[in-house]
Amino acid sequence: MKTSTLILTLLLSLAAQAFSEDLRKFTSADGTKTFDGVLTRYDAASGIVEVKRTGLGPLKFPLTMLSAADQAYVKEQSKPRTTAATKEPAVDFDFEHRDSLPQTDTPKSQWDTEWGPAAKTYPELKMPDGVKDPVTFQRQRIVAAAKKYIDLPYMHKHIPAAGGLDCSNFTAWVYNYSMGIRFPSGIANQGEEAGRRLAPDEKLQPGDLLFQTSVEGDRIAHSVIYMGDDRIIDACNGKVDVRNFANWYKDRFSHARRIIEDTDSPPTKDTSASSSKADFTPKATAGGKNRMEVRSVSKDLTTRLEAVNPKYLAAFPPDFAQAKPGTIPLVIYLHGSAGRGDDPKSCIDMPFNQIVGTHRDFPAVAISPQLRSVPLEGETKPRMSWHIEDLDHLLADVLKEFPQIDQDRVYLTGFSMGGYGTWDWAAASRKHFAAIIPIAGGANTAAPRSPKNFGDLPIWAFHGDADTTVTPQNSIKLVESIKSARGDAQLTLLPRATHQCSDQVYLNPEVYRWLFSKKRL
């Protein structure tokens, strides 16, 4: 007797009642032995077959031990199936893995703030093999992810691990966790920017975001996820729960927004309807000459500027001269106290100017004004704060000279004294800006601003947690006060970073993705 047949004979001596479903009678290669079993696996690389038997562990043996007919059967059954009987992957197939990922990059020792730590961006969904209807799969996945958090407490937090979520942080979290899709967690911006606004007569689909107004009807005050069949899930009345789309939910319904469109293509990570095509991934050393150039304001403005130099640094994206009016974003950078002077070129090596100037692919106009170092009339010392009226004049002049700039996508950032200036200018002239990024700054005590001055302006502040020059408490208190006034502000404390931390911010691609996704309301 052949060795292979002998081995199979020994295996068959362990015969027991086989599974009845998909049962097959297998025959040995020499035709002398048979046994009943259910094919469970075939590894083409090793040639090993696995058959399931009742009462025993899996039976494994080489494919060559079977008859030619059975070998053909095994190979045929192992091919990818496309029939209706094929079992599709579960919509929660990778939730266990996602649950193992950190919800935030903020150390737990720094979670003790009013809103807790900011959420980390989760991986994009990679559509598994075997999905017949990607659109339905994604919509069902959103609902399944939302239901994971039933009974989670209602709290003003950004991540579940901090203790709970409020309405718009819940909807933002579900899409981030399940799809790797980010959109604003602030209720006002979410209601205007997340995905596409549906027409009143469009049929609602699972996963759509529904928005309710305040009792007075003067603003968006609540968001929910539609589940289908007039059922919704939201964070309200103390916890996350499934509810009927009825009563005040329907009476105060404002509009719906769709993230998962009727297409086979998964949505992009940035689903803001107002998002430009601008994107930017900086490198620490881009190489090449710094292309920032010195520009001057118009002649009639030169004599009117008191504290700001009429000359400034500027950089323009490729083919800017041929761009259509209102199509290119603008980013304004305010330097720290070390940049004061009468020569804008002295600021060219500052982190923001260096990064922008050495990257020809920066997709926006960038300008860097300079604060003069001489005292103003009636003052005895050079200014240690930006002159807001001068900055307003300079911006108006730039917008007039360069009509290609999109006035709904003007962004402001600054470091140290420029961080103070960013807060102060935005509070005084909020109407100019789509979003701001203040770094290592704080409130200007000479011109204090109410948190309400910022309204719904998107703000992402940064501060080194080891900064001994400007205390991080400045940023912490400002952000918390704005949040208390229902503003759209967030703060990232950079671990072990001292005062000179702006390079960490300006080298972070997520900063630019967030910034360029914003549009003035």
Per-residue pLDDT of the chain (521 residues; tens, 9 = 90+): 454 444 444 444 433 333 334 678 888 898 888 877 788 888 777 788 888 765 555 688 899 999 998 898 888 877 655 444 457 899 999 999 999 999 998 899 889 888 889 899 999 999 998 899 999 999 999 999 999 999 999 999 999 999 999 999 999 999 999 999 988 888 887 887 788 888 888 899 999 999 999 888 888 999 999 999 999 999 999 999 999 999 999 999 999 999 998 864 444 444 443 334 466 778 654 556 788 999 999 988 988 998 999 999 999 987 788 888 999 999 999 999 999 999 999 999 899 999 999 888 899 999 999 999 877 666 666 667 899 999 999 999 999 999 999 999 999 999 999 999 999 999 999 999 999 999 999 876 555 567 888 988 999 999 999 999 999 999 999 999 999 888 999 999 999 999 999 999 999 988 999 999 999 87
Q: Is the dihedral of CA 463, 520, 347, 353 positive or negative?
A: positive
Helices 134-147 and 167-179 meet at what angle, rounded to 10?
130
> What are the percentages of helix, strand and coil residues in the chain, rounded to 5?
30, 25, 50
Buried b (16+ CB within 10 A) or exposed e, 472-508: bebbbebbbbbbeebbbbbbbbbeebebebbbbbbee
Order of strands across the sheet with 489-494? 293-296, 311-315, 365-368, 328-334, 405-415, 435-439, 459-464, 489-494
pLDDT of residue 38: 80
pLDDT of residue 270: 42
- The answer to whether residues 405 and 485 touch, using CB atoms and an 8 Å cutoff, is no
pLDDT of residue 218: 80
What is the token pair recorded at 280?
Answer: 């930017």
- Residues 6+ away with beta carbon under 8 Å from 235: 152, 154, 164, 165, 166, 167, 169, 170
Q: How many CA atoms lie within 13 A of 415 on its CB side?
A: 24
What is the token pair recorded at 167?
Answer: 């309405």
- Does the pTM exceed 0.85? no
